[in-house]
Amino acid sequence: MSTRTITGNLAADPEVVQAGSIQITKLRVIENTGEYRQGKWQAHDTPTTHFIEARFELGENAAASLHKGDAVIVTGREHTSSWGDDANKQYGRVIDADSIGADLARATVARSGPLVRWDGALPAPTEGTVMSTVEDTIRELDARRVRALLEGDAETMAGLLHPDFAYVHPNGRREERDAYIESAGRKNRTRAEHIVDQVITSDSAAFIAGRYLAELDTPNGVKTVDVIGGYTWFLLDGEWKLVAARLSSTPKAE
């Protein structure tokens, strides 16, 4: 995947579709491209259409905030996607959005909510700086981890893991960092969802617990995963890294 940043206007209101257990917000962004010729900007005859997909909180916020005609800037990872049956299969480029915002070079926006949030654990921000709490950060990183599993994105997963990361399966089998990254890179998950129950944080460590639900395509059919887990994060050289994950079987109802 390659990372791209594009600007343009929404061709239509965002469309929210259900994909398994998650919702995906789809956007079409029209970009008027061009080039400089002899020092003058020459617009291309036909604008470029970009297809954007956003998941989790980003998708929810985009669907609630954006409308047809809005000027936006999008950053994400571009990949080739296909649709249709074998006889009529079509291919196109899709950007999986990491961030979406208003293009303030061409529009103004009205802010809703506080501009500065500070939990006291970090140095007080200067006026005009947006800061999140440690819990916000851990929840966002956890969502990124789950998305990497769903998309088979080994590169993103590797960037989230501590050098000494260890993963313990419900049966007690231990998996080291490299093996876990290899497993995460298999594009065989049709569902991946983490229902967070609790987040405990300090200045340099955090623990997140919840229920993990997944569906995997295997040679023997679809395998369903329903487990509970705990994930420990450490702050390493200014970056949060996942150092350990321990899964257990979901207790059976009596």
- Identify the pLDDT of residue 112: 56
- Identify the pLDDT of residue 45: 78
Q: What is the mean pLDDT of the chain?
A: 82
Residue 208 in contact with residue 138, Cβ under 8 Å? yes
pLDDT beneath 50: ranges in the chain: 114-131
The Cα–Cα gap between 64 and 59 comes to 9
- Identify the pLDDT of residue 82: 67
Amino acid code (one letter) for 217: D
Amino acid code (one letter) for 19: A
- Identify the pLDDT of residue 36: 67
- What does the block give as tokens for 26? 């789809």
Residue 129's CB: how many other CB atoms inside 10 A? 11
- In the chain, % helix, strand, coil (3-state, to 5) comes to 20, 50, 30
- Identify the pLDDT of residue 54: 92
Q: What are phi and psi of 169, to 5 degrees?
A: -75, 165
User: How far is C-alpha 200 from the geometric centre of its chain's CA atoms?
Assistant: 22
End-to-end CA distance of the chain: 47
61: Cβ–Cβ under 8 A, 6 or more apart, which residues? none
Domain 134-249 -> CATH class = alpha beta
Domain locations in the chain?
2-102, 134-249
CATH placement of domain 2-102: 2.40.50.140
